[in-house]
Chain A
């Protein structure tokens, strides 16, 4: 069991190493990269936006009673904005994307593998790793931070509505408090870590799909394990990120 985990980690590391060897070499698959950006970014936007809005609303509604108890109701926008921007919006976005995009990539490449479409690409003068893996990993690495920024904005708007359900906070007051509270150390590290989330989701989805076998059963397993492993990696990266920001006194 432990030996298998180490073997899997080694294979993923080798697969990732190949990405860095291939990414700077021509031929650059620019049109496929843009196509993937559209699918990964645009198609995930509604789901990420709805989830972020609900999270902002719920966190605000649930935090309010505790703050009221301590007479710190006025701190609601400050507290909510920090927790949403630093942690909740990026991690929720990454987990949603791990579920939607990671499984999609795992299943798509897995089915391409078992139906010999990847071999067909090879025969057609195409490096399948560059065409399928590099473009998808680049797209997830670029799109997930953008989705996370949008999730920040939408969740903060959800927080504004949540704050106004029981109390009254004006639009100007809410946003003034939010922008007064948020500093460089809140925003930038949280955006930087989403690049790593995106990379992890892309590389795991592609690795699982690219190494799929056992026919249609294998495709299901690829999709499933892509979600499990990339979600786990999101939390591990988040843990590492919080340690690094702590060392850099950014917490």
Chain B
């Protein structure tokens, strides 16, 4: 597997109509630090793609550009038919209602209970449902992440793994088409990390979502990835299944799996 192979793969995918995210020639720099230098990437419907790369290689920047939290310097990002860099605030909000984002630090609102945290995206995206329906939705997602008893607890009362599950529940409450995971198992012990990884796979099956997962936890990658994209030197250096990349002879790819 080498850069040429990777380029060839993404060119094929451009013609695929089932892609829910398309990223083309994406450039992003912070001063002199060029993080993304012509990155190409596609996510197909129902697929779990892991973006693997070193710390500081621009993985989080990539998904923040996809969700519109960061402005791109150059390039095209198409999410569910929306050209993200060109969207106005209203259209960006509409697009974000269909795309969930699980933050690395969970980003649960400290001043709100679990219920209020889960209700927040519903209220903010103007989704008009009755009190009973909102309550049913809250309980449904909490049950799906295995924590229905935490509904009236504060985030500070929860363990790291529980917070991650609640953050995932908050992402799920809008029933998104796509979920972007930013290092979902970082800071968790191996057992909890494995539980979260399995939960991500269950969620994908249950909600029929497509996911981009940023991670360098190989155990997590092994469980969740249908395909792995290697972000090295700001480009999509290689792509393939976990097993394919594990057997790669390319030096830069190989060092991740050693």
Contacts and interface: CB of A to CB of B under 8 A. Distances in A.
Interface stretch (B99-107, B187-195, B230-238): B99-107
Contacts of A124: 96, 120-121, 124-125
Interface residues of B, number: 21
Contacts of B106: 115
Interface string B193-204: 000000000000
B69 A122 contact: yes
A123 B101 contact: yes
A178 B221 CA distance: 76
Nearest to B171: A123
B105 A116 contact: yes
A119 interface: yes
Contacts of B96: 123-125
A219 to B, nearest CB: 12
Interface string A122-147: 11111100000000000000000000
B124 A125 contact: yes
B245 interface: no
A74 interface: no
In which size bucket is the chain A interface?
Answer: 10 to 19
Contacts of A112: 109-110
Given A123-B69, A125-B125, A116 B103 contact: yes
Contact of B109 (A117, A122, A125, A127): A117
Nearest to B69: A119
B103 A120 contact: yes
Contacts of B89: 127
B103 A119 contact: yes
A111 to B, nearest CB: 7
Contacts of B64: 119
A115 B67 CA distance: 18
Interface string B92-123: 01001100010111111110000000001100
A116 B107 contact: yes
Contacts of B108: 117
Interface in A101-119: 111-112, 115-117, 119
A3 to B, nearest CB: 18
Contacts of B101: 120, 123
B107 A115 contact: yes
Interface in A164-204: none
Contacts of A120: 101, 103, 107, 109
A121 B126 CA distance: 14
Contacts of A111: 110
A148 B120 CA distance: 35
B124 A126 contact: yes
A117 B107 contact: yes
A121 B108 CA distance: 10
Interface string A50-88: 000000000000000000000000000000000000000
Given A112-B109, A120-B107, A120-B109, 14 more contacts: A111-B110, A115-B107, A115-B110, A116-B103, A116-B104, A120-B103, A122-B69, A123-B96, A124-B125, A125-B93, A125-B125, A125-B126, A126-B120, A127-B89
16 contacts: A112-B109, A115-B106, A115-B107, A115-B110, A116-B105, A117-B109, A117-B110, A119-B64, A119-B69, A121-B124, A123-B96, A124-B96, A125-B121, A125-B124, A125-B126, A127-B89
